[in-house]
Amino acid sequence: MDAEKSGKLAILLLLTGIVLTTSGCTSIGLGGDTAAIGSGVAVTKFDSNLDALESDDEVTLHLEVQNRGDAIATAAAELIGIYTQDWNLFGNTEQMIGELLPADEESGTEGQIGTLYWTLRAPDLQRGEKRTYEPIARMFYSYETRVIKPITFLTSEELRRTVQNGESLPSEIATVSDGPLSVSVRTGEFVRTKDISQWEQSYFPIDIVIENTGGGLIAGENYPIGIEITPPPGTIFRGGDCPRESQLEWMSYDNLLPAGLTRPISPNFVYMWDGKETKITCELKVTEPPEYKESRELSVVLEYIYYQDAKLPITVTGTREWGF
Q: Looking at residues 170-193, what average pLDDT do you find?
A: 84
User: How sure is the predictor about 219, in pLDDT bands with cuts at 50, 70 and 90?
Assistant: very high
List the end-to-end C-alpha distance of the chain, in Å, as a whole number.
101
Share of the chain above pLDDT 70, in %: 80
Partner residues linked to 185 by β-bridges: 19, 208
d(CA 84, CA 93) in angstroms, rounded, equals: 8
User: How sure is the predictor about 5, in pLDDT bands with cuts at 50, 70 and 90?
Assistant: very low
Q: Looking at residues 175-187, what average pLDDT do you find?
A: 92
User: Out of 3.40.50.970, 2.60.40.10, 3.40.50.12140, 2.120.10.30, which CATH number does the structure's domain 32-141+309-317 have?
Assistant: 2.60.40.10
What residues does each domain of the chain span? 3-23+142-306, 32-141+309-317
- One-letter identity of residue 165: N
Q: Looking at residues 190-209, what average pLDDT do you find?
A: 73
Closest to 55 in 3D by CA, of 89, 86, 92, 93: 86
Q: Which residue has the higher pLDDT, 243 or 116?
A: 116
Q: Which pLDDT score is estimated for 288?
A: 84
Per-residue pLDDT tens over the stretch 121-138: 999 999 989 999 999 999
d(CA 22, CA 137) in angstroms, rounded, equals: 27
Q: Looking at residues 30-37, what average pLDDT do you find?
A: 42
**30-34, 128-132, 302-306: least confidently modelled range:** 30-34
User: How sure is the predictor about 197, in pLDDT bands with cuts at 50, 70 and 90?
Assistant: low
CA dihedral 161, 162, 165, 166 (to 10 degrees): -150
Average pLDDT, the chain: 82
Name every residue whose Cβ is closer than 8 Å to that of residue 297 and which is 6 or more positions away in sequence: 148, 149, 150, 151, 232, 233
Closest to 207 in 3D by CA, of 230, 184, 225: 184
